[in-house]
Amino acid sequence: MSTRTPTAPQPTGTGGGGSRIRTVVVWSAVALVGAVCWAVLALSRGEDVSALWILFAALSSYAIAYRFYARFIARKVLEVDDTRATPAERLENGVDYEVTDRRVLFGHHFAAIAGAGPLVGPVLAAQMGYLPGTIWIIVGVILAGAVQDMVVLFLSMRRDGKSLGQMVRDEIGVVGGTAALIAVFAIMIIILAVLALVVVNALAESPWGVFSIGLTIPIALFMGFYLRYLRPGRVLETTAIGVVLLLLAIVGGGYVDQLGLGDALTLSKEHLVVALVVYGFVASILPVWMLLTPRDYLSTFMKIGVIVLLAVGLVIAAPTLQADAVTSFAVDGDGPVFAGKLFPFVFITIACGALSGFHALIASGTTPKMIAKESHVRMIGYGGMLMESFVAISALIAAVVIDQGLYYAMNAPAGATGGTPEGAAAFVSQLGFTITPGDLTAAAASIEESTLVSRTGGAPTLAFGLSQVFHQAFGGNLQAFWYHFAIMFEALFILTAVDAGTRVGRFMLQDTIGNVWTRFGDVSWRPAAWAASAVTVGAWGYFLYIGISDPLGGINQLFPLFGIANQLLAAIALTLCVTLLLKHGKLKWVWVPGIPLAWDLVVTMTASWQKVFSDNPAIGYFAQADRYRAARDAGDVLAPAADAGQMDQIIRNSTTNGVIQAVFALLVIVVVANAVVIWVRAIRAGSLPTTEVPHTPSQIVAPADFVATREEKEAVAAWEAERRELAGPQGHR
């Protein structure tokens, strides 16, 4: 430790007149590229359109939003202050609070927010055509998702890294805080169940997939023991070994039949549910070094690798869009993938990548405790979300460049296609698309799967689309490898989210019950850890089972619940943002989180209302239950139910989903209503006290953005030289 503090010379200035002209020229060019790309997408109807127009429309829009809107939010709305020490600097303890390089923290934050969500939602929303999804992902992230992530990160950072629930309780009130706490736990359960459902649907009847994904567990265990006992701390080396083993596992999956494992690994959905529930429970109670940490390393490196691969593959392949810009399903609301019209359902089907409330939990978790300078919230919060949005755009492209007959054959529920190529071809022709049973069989054979019919959930469709893109881009006879590579990384991301989420749920339960029974809150006490894990796993396992056993098709029943739940969580987060801006007396800037909040409330409440009260049985859960109940009471069996037992199952599932949906919406209404009281008080008073910690001068010097300017480099060099000078004599005592 130094005995005197460096003077912390902060970088100043942004360059002279020459650089200003260069800046204007560069940003004008970016704007022009964006405008041309958007114009092509808006005006093209009927002709071939390259997917690159979408890709570059997205990239140029992101660049402009980051450069101008995010900077405006940082400077004017949040008034980030780099002279102010962050919690990482003030409270640095090497455990929770640790000053972290901005680029490293960006990587960690991105790895924490990005998973399978941005890969799956856009694929399902592709039934509306490519344009609605494209517009929502890009506009949504710029005005809503990235704003939420950045502002929540900032607010949490100014409060020593408090969680979303704590901030709602402290800044809005006990009622809102309690409702938020229940909502967060319940919403997380649904999210985990739906993610697990995606994995089950991708792996069912796929021995290659089960082989590859199954091997990730012993690979992660091997890595855990290797890091613990053989080569402690060698993370990069261990991860490299793990990635090589993963790739071998994918390749090895192609030989399951030759190895005599084909039948043994052809698992039903029921078997996979049991396997996942057992896995989730065990992962939650095992020491983290054994399974979770190494799996997280694998997942993180795969995420970064996949993004690079996606970008390179799409640019090289430059595939042509096969879907219509806007389909009839968007207007009529009768699509086979999920029911409902473009508004509100495209906006809740695509959550991650545009606006994801779950991110608010990450942005108020570890990240705010590791930020070096306040200005980094722009790069990490806003920039990290833009990166996730890019993943979502890539996934959308993968779904709309495949043959659309195949898309609907894969994503229509088995009740509609009968699960056979002939049934699927007939069903797809009713939708106005053409594909023969032979084409479907050939498509499945090209990726060495037994069938692609009704492989719902989005993951198989994305994997097929990516395999086609990578095959076009990189050549070779590797389409089956690429398909299983894509399934592998989707499943890896999901399993990482499921095991980490189960553990978070366990901690939340232990913490909550620990308020009334102190011993239960001790995370080292095994009975409590096991009981809380069992409750968490049991809850998401129940919904997972509903999903796989629902005769109506689990994904089209549960995915809307997942999307609405995630965006209701966003409504809670944005409500907090509005509340705190008002309490800080920033009424004139309240529109920044206020507009996305208003939009999000309109979307989620409309969707919730329709899912609960719509008299259309395809949309309303209770109308659906009533329809099947009336038929059952009349002694009839309605398709796709095959018997009275399945009729009862549909009634039970639809009623449960309807109740859960209504409860979620009510919880959010309670939070917002509680907040409105505070808003009125704050506006009347001009401002109100908050729990923001007081200003403490910062001693750290660091660049503000991804690339350091010359002035910043000079300031950092001067500061480091001064630190060395101060530390030097002491070090030689």
Partner 1 sequence: MSRFARFRRLVREFTGEAAWDDYLATCERDGVEPTTRRAFERHRADRIEHAPMARCC
Using alpha carbons, select from 77, 70, 170 the residue that is nearest to residue 585.
Answer: 77
Distances (CA, A) of 443 to 403, 478, 524: 10, 14, 51
Minimum distance between the CB of residue 108 and partner 1, rounded to whole angstroms? 7
The amino acid at 653: N
CB of 195 to partner 1, least distance (A): 6
Site for partner 1 in 62-101 (CB under 8 A): 94-96, 100-101
Q: How many residues bind partner 1 (CB under 8 A)?
A: 56
Binding span for partner 1 by CB under 8 A among 170-178, 533-541, 682-690, 724-732? 724-732
Q: Does 122 bind partner 1 (CB under 8 A)?
A: no
Q: Which stretch binds partner 1 (CB under 8 A): 20-28, 51-59, 354-362, 624-632?
A: 354-362
503/583 with CB nearer partner 1: 503
Of 362, 491, 539, 605, the one binding partner 1 (CB under 8 A) is: 362
Q: According to the binding rule CB under 8 A, does residue 196 interact with partner 1? A: no
Q: Would you say 365 or 553 has its CB closer to partner 1?
A: 365
Site membership for partner 1, residue 365 (CB under 8 A): yes
Residue 187 CB, shortest distance to partner 1, in Å, is: 11
Dihedral over Cα of 368, 353, 605, 589: its sign: positive
Residue 201 binds partner 1, judged by CB under 8 A: no
* Nearest-angstrom CA–CA distance, 33 and 27: 10
* Using rule CB under 8 A, residue 358 touches partner 1: yes
Q: Is 100 helix (H, G, I), strand (E, B) or coil?
A: strand
Q: Is 225 a binder of partner 1 (CB under 8 A)?
A: no
Please pick, from the candidates 524, 633, 639, 684, the single residue that binds partner 1 as defined by CB under 8 A.
Answer: 524
In the complex, the smallest distance separating the C-beta of residue 710 from partner 1, rounded to whole angstroms, is 16
Instruction: Quote the CA–CA distance of 621 and 601 in Å, as a whole number.
Output: 20
Q: Is 64:23 a contact under the CB 8 Å cutoff?
A: no
Give the separation between CA 320 and CA 360, rounded to whole angstroms. Answer: 36
Contact 446, 200 (CB under 8 A): no
State phi, psi for 100 to the nearest 5 degrees. -130, 140
Distances (CA, A) of 312 to 467, 476, 604: 14, 16, 36
Binds partner 1 by CB under 8 A, chosen from 15, 287, 438, 697: 287
Peptide linkage before 344 cis (omega within 30 of 0): yes
Q: Is there binding between residue 723 and partner 1 (CB under 8 A)?
A: no
Long-range contacts of 704-708 (CB under 8 A, 24+ apart): 704/11, 704/82, 704/373, 704/375, 704/376, 704/378, 704/379, 705/375, 705/378, 705/379, 706/102, 706/103, 706/106, 706/379, 706/383
- Residue 436's Cβ-side half-sphere holds a number of Cα atoms within 13 Å equal to 3
Is residue 227 a contact residue for partner 1 (CB under 8 A)? yes
Q: Which is nearer to partner 1, 373 or 586 (CB)?
A: 373
**In the bound complex, what is the minimum distance in angstroms from residue 362's beta carbon to partner 1?**
6
Of positions 130, 382, 407, 507, contacts partner 1 by CB under 8 A? 507
Site string for partner 1, 529-568 (x = CB under 8 A): -------------------------------------x--
Which residues share a beta bridge with 84?
A: 697
Length of the chain: 733
Beta-carbon neighbour count of residue 288 at 10 Å?
16
- Count Cβ atoms below 10 Å from residue 437 Cβ, excluding itself: 16
Which of 3, 102, 9 has the alpha carbon at shortest distance from 721?
9
Cα–Cα distance for residue pair 637/705, rounded to 1 Å: 62
| Cα distance between residue 685 and residue 703, in whole Å | 38
C-beta closer to partner 1: residue 498 or 704:
498
Q: CA 643 to CA 646: how far, in whole Å?
A: 5
By CB atoms closer than 10 A (0-12, 13-18, 19+), residue 46 is: exposed
Q: Which window, 307-315, 358-366, 534-542, 600-608, contacts partner 1 (CB under 8 A)?
A: 358-366
Interaction with partner 1 in 289-308: which residues (CB under 8 A)?
A: 289, 292-293, 296-297, 299
CB closer to partner 1, 431 vs 494: 494
Residue 503 in the binding site for partner 1 (CB under 8 A): yes
Largest CA distance in the chain: 92
Q: Find the binding residues for partner 1 in span 378-437 (CB under 8 A).
A: none
- Indicate which single residue of 85, 391, 497, 715 sits in contact with partner 1 (rule: CB under 8 A): 497
Report which of 330, 465, 455 is spatially closest to residue 401, judged by C-alpha positions.
465
254: three-class secondary structure by DSSP: coil
Residue from 17, 18, 46, 233 in contact with partner 1 (CB under 8 A): 233
Indicate which single residue of 232, 305, 438, 527 sits in contact with partner 1 (rule: CB under 8 A). 232
The residue within the footprint of partner 1, chosen from 288, 534, 595, 618 (CB under 8 A), is: 288
Nearer to partner 1, 357 or 594 (CB): 357
* 156, 239, 456, 608: residue in contact with partner 1 (rule CB under 8 A): 239
The residues that touch partner 1, with contacts defined as CB under 8 A, are 94-96, 100-101, 103-104, 107-108, 112-117, 191, 195, 227-229, 232-236, 239, 287-289, 292-293, 296-297, 299, 352, 356, 358-359, 361-362, 365-366, 496-497, 500-501, 503-504, 507, 523-524, 566, 727, 730-731, 733
